[in-house]
Each structure stands twice: as structure tokens, then as C-alpha cells.
Amino acid sequence: MIMFRIIMKAALRQISNANYLKSNSHIKVKLTPTQSALKLASELLSSSEAHRRQELGEALLDELSDCAGIDVVELVVSDQNQAHRRSGTRIVMKKYGSYRPSSRTINISNRTAARGQILAPKSFLDTLLHEWLHHYDTHKLRINSIHSKGFYDRLSDLKDKLQIPKNRVSRG
Ligand SMILES: [Zn+2]
């Protein structure tokens, strides 16, 4: 029994190691965005309302999934504050968005955690692409999508391909 457990542990470690290596080895996304994807990304950068972002975001993700040759993902943009956790008065955790592989759904809150202000367009688009990349990893690369260096390389390649202007945005 103990021997079995040791073997199982070693096997699991190998699987997660292989997953990590594979996640790190892809530094580019395998897709060429269409003109309409570029247009949608740029329109998102001047959007603000949740319903508008829902509409544009959904269309962009459909385009991207098509370009990558994978199934579409559902997007739910809510007009609520980001889920967060406080320690005293300080916010210690904010949730920008989430991707649930089992239901193929991306959830994004359109308002900041503390003041409930509308998310800056760049933060919204950043979150949208970040979460979609988890979907890409799951269905295109067929890996357990993790925040490896390769993941962030792919994300930055995707943003370059969508011609999104570079300036740093803080993201949790
Ligand atoms: Zn993530």
C-alpha cells in the first residue's frame, strides 16, 4: 500500500511536471486574428458599459475561438463590483475574472472592488484575453492551464497580434 502510494505520487509529479513543461514551451498563440477581431479589440478600448462590453467581448471571443479552431466560450459580464476579500480596511484579494472549464464560461465583473467604478478599458480587455487564454490552453494545447511564464508569453503574443497598445496595467 505504501509502495503504491509512492508510485502514485511519483506519477502525479511527473504528470504535473510534463504539464508545466508543455505550458512553458508554447510562447506564441497559433492563430491569425481577422480584421474584425482587430476592430472589436479596438472598440473595446473605448467601451465602458457592461452591456456594451458583453456584446463586444462575446463577438471578440467568438472570433478568436474561430481563428484558433476551438469551441466557443460563454461570456458573462456583470455590472457588479469585483469579488474581493478585506483584511480590516485593506483589500487583500480581488477577483478580476474567472474561467470555468467544465461549463466553458468566462465571468468578468465590470466594476472595481472598492469603489465600484467602471473598470478601465485596458483592464477589462486584459482580463478578457487572460481568461480566454485559459480556454485556449484547455482546448487547443490540451493542458491544465496554469500561470507559467509561457502563459504570459502567449498572452503578450496575443495582445501584439491584436495590436493592443502596450502600457503596463496592474492585474492580480
Ligand atoms: Zn488566470
DSSP 145: -
8 A C-beta contact, residue 108 and residue 96: yes
Contact 58, 133 (CB under 8 A): no
CA 130 to ligand 1 centroid distance, Å: 6
**pLDDT (tens digit per residue) in 1-10:** 677 888 888 8
pLDDT greater than 50 at residue 32: yes
Report d(CA 136, CA 143) in Å as an integer.
9
Parallel, antiparallel, or unpaired: how do β-strands 105-111 and 74-81 relate? parallel
Q: In angstroms, what is the span from residue 98 Cα to ligand 1's centroid?
A: 7
Distance (angstroms) between ligand 1 centre and the Cα of 94 equals 12
**Could you tell me which of 126, 136, 130, 151 has the C-alpha nearest to residue 44?**
126
Q: Which class for 11: exposed (0-12), middle (13-18), buried (19 or more C-beta within 10 A)?
A: exposed
On whether the pTM is more than 0.85, the answer is: yes
Distance 2 CA to ligand 1 centre (A): 36
Averaged pLDDT for residues 29-35: 97
pLDDT tens figures, 48-105: 999 999 999 999 999 999 999 999 999 999 999 988 888 888 888 888 899 999 999 9
